[in-house]
Structure 1
Amino acid sequence: MMLETLPLFHRLQGQPVIILGQGEAAEAKRRLVERAGAVVFDDMQAGIDRCARLAFIAYEDRGAAEADALRLRGAGLLVNVVDQPDLCDFTTPSILDRSPVLIAVGTGGVSAGLAKQLRLRLEALLPESLGALARGLGDARSALRARFPDMKERRRALDAALAQGCVLDPLEAGSAGRIEGWLAGADAPQGGVVEIILRSDDPDDLTLREARLLGSADGIVHDAHVPPAILARARADAVRIVGDAVPDEAGLWLRLRGV
């Protein structure tokens, strides 16, 4: 399946960002980028001279916005034109902040209201302690690598611990406090080969176990009948092989058979 846009997280601390226009729309973009630590320029040329990479335009006049967007692109910037998605190189999502965890909900500029409502639903699901869990895992990175030198084993151990209902479940408020104890006794789950025979081409028909296996497998061997929508549920860096024979390699492998 093709992504219509590619979500990216930009580090803007101390970086110049151009914001052109007046009114609430321009102020909203200013607040957003200043929250990320950017230095705002409201003069186009001054921002270009400071090597800005991003620009926001909040004009009511579409012709003026299109002209300035063209000039900015010519200078190598990515441009967002407020309320004009067809003129945008990028859009700004609705952001759920559990720093250092950030969840961005976007609709490609189609409906900011929908993105906001989805973000509000997620706000209710994700505890404030999620950031503490992320920081704890970051602090434990060296110890985790020492216990599991093999990257695949390390990934499987983390996947198992972070799964729903498990010791480091991200949706449980106390998970951050259990990292040290988990790491002291953690063993990597065994690899091997698991076969999944699909019942339909609809990824929503996958069981929770099948979806979890797709999201954690190191490699997938599948026949030509497995649709892209199913394969899209796998890890982006998982090896994909069309065929039947599973390579004699360590790790967790899935053999997928289509309908």
Structure 2
Amino acid sequence: MIETLPLFHRISGRPVVVLGEGEAAEAKRRLVERAGAIIVTDLHTGIASGARLAFIALENDEAARVAVAEARSAGMLVNATDRPALCDFTVPSILDRSPVLVAIGTGGASAGLAKQLRLRLEALLPQSLGALASGLGAARAALRQRFPEAGERRRALDAALAAGSALDPLADSSADHIDAWLAGAPAGAAGVAEIALRSGDPEDLTLREARLLGTADVIVHDSRVPTVVLDRARADAVRLESDGLSPYHRIAGLTVVLRAPF
């Protein structure tokens, strides 16, 4: 189970309340400005302008609690700096490869940990990742024409974006290969693959098994398969619980059957 739901919120051109002075408040202002929002520094003005987000960076605990309560009563979602218990949302550490954004959060537990994870990923993800994303966005119509069926289109992209494949996201020049790949792109793998789990720990999955599970259109599993393993599948994959039954032959796409012999 996840404790918070990560979302990307469009705030460009919209009012956002940022209260407070000092380094913490200034950091929030820079972040909000970076996303193109209009900063409002007075709570009542923010309420009148229809702001839906508020960053409360007040040093006084009581003043912060009052401001949070007032903002919430006006329908705002609130982030209170250094006060996780008062937060409706937390601000992640952001890795920017626009339009690709990687947001790393710890639920307010440790901003330092989130920062260090971001720094590790900065070294891993090439600057060209944004160009690859933009190129795929521009090719969306051509990709739909090449693969009219959504599942077939998804499988083709999964195959192309895999490690070492034509559009490997970690390769610097992948964006330059989109047109050539699209001209001769094969359909991705379909059919049925079975995985016999060795334990209830998702870390025991092999790389191949993890890839199959993460790209499957349909997951067929018996009742003993733990949720932590099923969570490695796509959120929109069809899930069928089947103890000894075999309904998966009727479903198109890549089906992964999970068996739990333990």
The TM-score, its normalising length taken from structure 2, stands at 0.97
Question: Would the aligned equivalents of 1:56 and 1:80 in 2 still touch at CA under 8 Å?
Answer: yes
Q: 1:209 corresponds to which residue?
A: 208
Task: Tell me the amino acid that sits aligned with residue 176 of structure 1.
Answer: A
Give distance in 1, aligned partners of 2:189 and 2:169: 23
- For the residue of structure 1 that corresponds to 2:96, the secondary structure is strand
Q: 2:102 corresponds to which residue?
A: 103
Shift of 1:59: 1.2
Shift of 1:189: 2.3
Residue 255 (str. 1) matches residue 254 (str. 2): no
Q: 1:80 corresponds to which residue?
A: 79
Runs of 5+ consecutive residues of structure 2 not aligned to the other structure? none
Question: Would the aligned equivalents of 1:93 and 1:115 in 2 still touch at CA under 8 Å?
Answer: yes
Question: Would the aligned equivalents of 1:22 and 1:58 in 2 still touch at CA under 8 Å?
Answer: yes
Runs of 5+ consecutive residues of structure 1 not aligned to the other structure? none
Task: Tell me the amino acid that sits aligned with residue 256 of structure 2.
Answer: L
- For the residue of structure 1 that corresponds to 2:247, the secondary structure is coil
Shift of 1:67: 1.1
Q: 1:59 corresponds to which residue?
A: 58
Give distance in 1, aligned partners of 2:185 and 2:57: 52
Please report the RMSD computed on the Cα atoms of aligned residues, expressed in angstroms: 0.7
Question: Would the aligned equivalents of 2:158 and 2:188 in 1 still touch at CA under 8 Å?
Answer: no
- For the residue of structure 2 that corresponds to 1:17, the secondary structure is strand
Task: Tell me the amino acid that sits aligned with residue 149 of structure 1.
Answer: P
Aligned length: 258
Residue 5 (str. 1) matches residue 18 (str. 2): no
Q: Equivalent pairs: percent with the same residue? A: 67
Give distance in 1, aligned partners of 2:83 and 2:209: 40
Give distance in 2, aligned partners of 1:9 and 1:174: 27
Decide which moves more: 58-67 or 6-15. Answer: 58-67
Q: 1:139 corresponds to which residue?
A: 138
Q: 2:128 corresponds to which residue?
A: 129
Deviations 1:223-252 (A, max 9, x none): 011000000000000000110313302111
Give distance in 1, aligned partners of 2:189 and 2:227: 28
Q: 1:245 corresponds to which residue?
A: 246
Shift of 1:64: 1.2
Q: 1:233 corresponds to which residue?
A: 232
- For the residue of structure 1 that corresponds to 2:176, the secondary structure is helix
Deviations 1:24-49 (A, max 9, x none): 10000000000000000001011111
Task: Tell me the amino acid that sits aligned with residue 7 of structure 1.
Answer: P
Alignment of 1:189-204 (within 5 A): 189-204=188-203
- For the residue of structure 2 that corresponds to 1:19, the secondary structure is strand
The TM-score, its normalising length taken from structure 1, stands at 0.98
